Structure 1
Amino acid sequence: MWLNKQQTIRSAIRAYRKAVQRSTPSLVVIDGLFDPARLDEVVTVLQQEQHWSTQHHSYSALYVNNETWQKTPDTERFVQRDLWLRPLLCTNSPAATALAFLQFLRGDEFMSLLSKIFDVQITDINVAKPEINTNFFRLSARDFVNQHADDSPGREICMLLYLNKDWQDHNGGELVFIGQNEQPVTIAPLYNRCVLFDPSSEGSEHWVKPVSGDSAVAYRYNVTSWYWSE
């Protein structure tokens, strides 16, 4: 049981839907959506150093290799962060819990919930490699996610779930949407905080504020997941 059932009753879903309809960008922030005890197990896995690899994206190309990245001007770089490496065999390892959570996020139960909140049918039927669209990421003080849009044909929902225990204001790492009328929307990456938004909606371009280099907190952890309609 990954979900906190009290957060998925009918009245809660109606409230989420209203929030999406009334906000710019179209989004809802849900605190405590998942069972915190289960998420604690996931965090234990994420804190193991061997599961991570650096990822680079430029505005002209995704998954840029190191040689090309070194030649890419700073103004063209929009993502430097670490990506969690899925283990090939993890049935009896602690990583099995983290992998099971990623699989849940692409399963029928969770995608049905998203469909209800956004009033659109979410499905992986036409997605070639669904698993690459849901994963864990982490940011350190040296990393960055600069302003960009997540819109793509057929992409209906982006989910961000934060896994940062005891996160404080001075740790930085806030998600910022461009919003409207020069009024950006800023969201702190608090533990078990889920942000769901329509990446094609007005004001949905976003970025992440730097993680503080003075903090004892080494990394900002999150899950990012993208979902498509038929």
Structure 2
Amino acid sequence: MDHNAVMDAIYARGWAIVDDFLSPAEVAALRACLPAAWQPAGIGREGLHQGNADIRRDQIHWLDAELGAPVADYLARMESLRIAANRLLMLGLFDYEAHFARYRPGDFYATHRDAFAGRSNRRLTSVFYLNQDWQPADGGLLRVYDDGEQHLMDVSPMGGRLVLFLSEEFPHEVLPAREERYSIAGWFRVNGTGLGRVDPPR
């Protein structure tokens, strides 16, 4: 992957899509690390965190390197992206957090932002897809809106595809899936806001 081209795209329009970020074999290796146990996703932070099936119905499992070598390799690649973003865009990104996300048939996530200006330490969102042979009839599109909440694009959750966008600027939603759908949702963060972890996966 050309880090310069990706960061140029984010600088110019606020988002980038990288197909074949990982090979099919690497995607399959990550899928093999999917957990047996999942937790229902919620909304809000810490003491305000709660489930709301009218807003989202997905399940999550937070990533760490102990889940296996493929996860450790993925996190290392994200660290390379963090360094490139700081070098080329001067975003001041301090760390990265991510989780697996599972959408069962019928699951969705209503329109939301991953961060609000001045109120979150999340600056750059990443979504990486783990789905094999995804078809248009399978649903589960990532629908992205511009900062004025006008429809910008639909992104199919094809295996190996990486999506990056500025967290504060793009409202988005996950349309209902018709097949089981897997991804890794992550956020590059700045330091010093004192905010707890939030749970808006893809």
TM range (shorter): 0.7 to 0.9
- State the shift of 1:87 in Å: 8.7
- The residue type equivalent to 1:175 in the other structure is L
Partner of 2:83: 112
1:1-230 alignment, distance < 5 Å: 7=1, 12-23=2-13, 26-46=14-34, 50-57=36-43, 63-64=49-50, 69=51, 77-84=54-61, 95-101=67-73, 103-104=75-76, 107=79, 109-116=80-87, 118-124=89-95, 133-151=97-115, 152-179=119-146, 182-201=150-169, 204-212=170-178, 217=179, 219-230=180-191
Between 1 and 2, higher relative CO (CA 8 Å, sep ≥ 6) is seen in 2
Seen in structure 2, the aligned counterparts of structure 1 residues 120 and 199 have a Cα distance that, compared at 3 Å, is same
What SS class does the counterpart of residue 45 from structure 1 fall into? coil
Q: Give the TM-score of the pair, scaled to structure 1.
A: 0.69
- State the shift of 1:187 in Å: 0.7
Q: Is the 8 A contact 1:164 1:221 kept in 2?
A: yes
Number of residues paired by the alignment? 187
1:146-185 per-position Cα deviation (integer Å, ceiling 9, x unaligned): 0111114332101000110100111011101112583431
Q: Is the 8 A contact 2:16 2:165 kept in 1?
A: yes
Give the RMSD, CA atoms, in angstroms.
3.0
What SS class does the counterpart of residue 176 from structure 1 fall into? strand
Greater Cα radius of gyration, structure 1 or 2: 1
Cα distance in 1 for residues equivalent to 2:41 and 2:181: 15
- State the shift of 1:136 in Å: 0.5
What SS class does the counterpart of residue 158 from structure 2 fall into? coil
Query: In percent, how many aligned pairs have the same letter?
Result: 20
Q: Is the 8 A contact 2:128 2:183 kept in 1?
A: yes
Cα distance in 1 for residues equivalent to 2:108 and 2:27: 25
Q: Give the TM-score of the pair, scaled to structure 2.
A: 0.77
Seen in structure 2, the aligned counterparts of structure 1 residues 111 and 85 have a Cα distance that, compared at 3 Å, is closer
Seen in structure 2, the aligned counterparts of structure 1 residues 100 and 15 have a Cα distance that, compared at 3 Å, is closer
What 5-or-longer segments of structure 2 have no aligned partner? 192-202
Cα distance in 2 for residues equivalent to 1:30 and 1:55: 26
Cα distance in 1 for residues equivalent to 2:120 and 2:33: 34
